[in-house]
Amino acid sequence: MNAVTESTSLAQRPRKAPPKAPLLSGGGLLGHVFFMRDDPLGTFLHAREACGPIARVRLGPLTGFFLYEPADVERVLTTNAANYGKSTRGYDKLRLLLGDGLVTSQGEHWLRQRRIAQPAFLRKRVAGLADRMVDAAADMADAWAEPAARGAEIDAHDAMNQLALRIAGETLFSTDVTGEAGEIGTSMLGVLTQFNRLVASPLPWPERWPTPANLRFWRGVRTLHRVVDGLIAERRGRSEQPADLLGLFMDARDPETGEGMTDRQLRDEALTMLLAGHETTANGLSWTLHLLAQYPDAARRVEAELDRVLAGRLPTAADYGALTFTHQVVQESLRLYPPVWLLARRAMADDVLSGYHVPRGSLVFMSQYAIHRDPRLWSDPEGFDPDRFAPDAPAPGRFAYFPFSRGQRQCIGDHFAQMEMVLVLATLLQRYRLASVPGHPVVPEPSVTLRPRDGLRMRLSPRAA
Q: Find the binding residues for ligand HEM in span 176-215 (CB under 6 A).
A: none
Q: Is 66 in the site for ligand HEM (CB under 6 A)?
A: no
- Give dist(CA 246, CA 461) in Å, integer: 38
Task: Taking each helix axis as running N to C, give the angle between helix 212-236 and helix 181-200, from 0 to 180 degrees, rounded to the nearest 10.
Answer: 130
Element (H, E) at 274: helix 263-294
By CB under 6 A, what part of segment 373-432 binds ligand HEM? 403-405, 409, 411-413, 416-417
| Residues 134-173: x where in contact with ligand HEM by CB under 6 A, - otherwise, as a string | ----------------------------------------
Cβ 3 to ligand HEM shortest distance, Å:
46
> For ligand HEM, which is the closer residue by CB, 113 or 461?
113
Q: Does residue 114 belong to the site contacting ligand HEM (CB under 6 A)?
A: yes
SS3 199: helix
* Residue from 21, 54, 102, 270 in contact with ligand HEM (CB under 6 A): 102
Within 316-355, the residues that bind ligand HEM by CB under 6 A are 339-340, 343
Which one among 265, 281, 286, 333 touches ligand HEM, defined by CB under 6 A?
Answer: 281
Least distance between ligand HEM and beta carbon 339 (Å)? 4
Q: Nearer to ligand HEM by C-beta: 148 or 334?
A: 334
Site residue total, ligand HEM (CB under 6 A): 22
Q: At closest approach, how far in Å is the CB of 429 from ligand HEM?
A: 18
| Closest CB 202 distance from ligand HEM, rounded Å | 23
Per DSSP, helices labelled H in 89-201 are 89-98, 107-117, 123-127, 130-143, 145-149, 156-173, 181-200
Distance CA 94, CA 91 (A): 5
Q: Which of 272, 326, 367, 461 binds ligand HEM (CB under 6 A)?
A: 272
Q: Which among 376, 461, 451 is positioned nearest to 164, based on CA atoms?
A: 451
- Shorter beta-carbon distance to ligand HEM: residue 281 or 427: 281
- Angle formed at CA 301 by CA 299 and CA 302, multiple of 5 degrees: 65
Q: CB-wise, 281 or 461, nearer to ligand HEM?
A: 281
In this complex, which beta carbon is closest to ligand HEM, that of residue 413 or of residue 455?
413
Q: How far apart are the first and last CA of the chain?
A: 83
Give long-range contacts, CB 8 A cutoff, 24+ apart: 10-17: 17/357
**Residue whose C-alpha is closest to residue 130's, from 404, 414, 416:** 416
CB of 345 to ligand HEM, least distance (A): 8
Report how far residue 195's alpha carbon sits from residue 218's, in angstroms, rounded to the nearest whole number.
Answer: 10
Cβ proximity of 109 and 120 under 8 Å: no
Q: How far apart are CA 147 and CA 33, in angstroms?
A: 45
Q: What are phi and psi of 205, to 5 degrees?
A: -90, 120
Least separation in angstroms between CB 398 and ligand HEM: 14
Q: Give the single-character DSSP code of 201.
A: -
Please, what is the minimum distance in Å from the beta carbon of residue 284 to ligand HEM? 4
Given the rule CB under 6 A, which residues bind ligand HEM?
102-103, 114, 272-273, 276-277, 280-281, 284, 339-340, 343, 403-405, 409, 411-413, 416-417
